[in-house]
Amino acid sequence: DSGVTQTPKHLITATGQRVTLRCSPRSGDLSVYWYQQSLDQGLQFLIHYYNGEERAKGNILERFSAQQFPDLHSELNLSSLELGDSALYFCASSVVPSGVQETQYFGPGTRLLVL
Amino acid sequence: DQQVKQNSPSLSVQEGRISILNCDYTNSMFDYFLWYKKYPAEGPTFLISISSIKDKNEDGRFTVFLNKSAKHLSLHIVPSQPGDSAVYFCAASEVSGNTPLVFGKGTRLSVIA
């Protein structure tokens, strides 16, 4: 158990809908990262928050957005869902922002299926 | 453009033998490398890391070797155990550039009893 929690574990929805994925980092961790893993793909970095502020963006679609709240939990919002958005979405946390040699600890992921 | 490549999608090894997982990278600015292990229905778990100032780091049965001139790293597992069967991801970052981790696509290791 990494100490990172993600809810829900599974999510089935229809095209065009909007969903929210939630992540609670390890106690004391200020950084939250979101990744997407599609079939046969590695983990693709989406976005990074540190202590409530956006620090870096990866290949995140405009239909996707995220935020980190004062209690440090984070939410990833996916809207106007398409079939291709079906994937595993992982959240990871670390103590420090990127820029130092740090280890990210991953949650169990949310499996999203868009029908 | 894949900056981190794991060219072997899968690997089978007999229990007790050595498992060698390979990873190549193209970005010469990467200076920190990690290996993660992932079981089905779980998130990736950190295994071992290495800084570019080193060429080897060891932790129990796991050793990571870094060859900067070849832009290549490898993970050695000795001896391999059935519980090591998982997908292994190589990841790299440019610490000084404040960039996020870049992951390879993973190698599925099967340790056969």
| pLDDT for A2 | 84
Give the single-character DSSP code of A27: T
Q: How far apart are CA B107 and CA B113, in angstroms?
A: 19
Which structure tokens are listed for A22? 């939630």
The answer to which of A48-62, A87-101, B39-53 has the lowest mean pLDDT is: A87-101
Query: What mean pLDDT comes out for the span A54-76?
Result: 94
Nearest residue of B to residue A33 by CA position?
B100
> Is the CB of residue B64 less than 8 Å from the CB of residue B55?
no
- In sequence order, the β-bridge partners of residue A87 are A112
Whether A98 and B4 lie within 8 Å, measured CB to CB: no
Local confidence pLDDT in tens for the 113 residues of chain B: 789 999 999 999 999 999 999 999 999 999 999 999 999 888 999 999 999 999 999 999 999 999 999 999 999 999 999 999 999 999 998 876 567 889 999 999 999 99
Whether A42 and B93 lie within 8 Å, measured CB to CB: no
Whether B4 and A42 lie within 8 Å, measured CB to CB: yes
Angle at alpha carbon of residue A15, lines to B104 and A9, rounded to 5°: 55
Confidence label for A99 from pLDDT (cuts 50, 70 and 90):
low
Chain A residues whose C-beta sits inside 8 Å of any chain B C-beta: 2, 4, 6, 33, 35, 40-45, 48, 55-56, 58, 90, 92, 97-101, 103-109
Chain A residues whose beta carbon lies within 8 Å of the beta carbon of residue B98: 55-56, 97-99
Confidence label for A69 from pLDDT (cuts 50, 70 and 90):
very high
Q: How far apart are CA A81 and CA A64, in angstroms?
A: 9
Given the structure tokens 């997908």, which residue do they identify?
Answer: B87
> Is the CB of residue A74 less than 8 Å from the CB of residue A8?
no
Q: Which of A91, A75, A93 is nearest to A29 (CA)?
A: A93
Q: How far apart are CA B3 and CA B17, in angstroms?
A: 30
Cβ-nearest to A108 among B36, B42, B98: B42
* Pairing assessment for the beta strands A10-13 and A110-114 based on DSSP bridges: parallel
> Is the CB of residue A42 less than 8 Å from the CB of residue B89?
yes
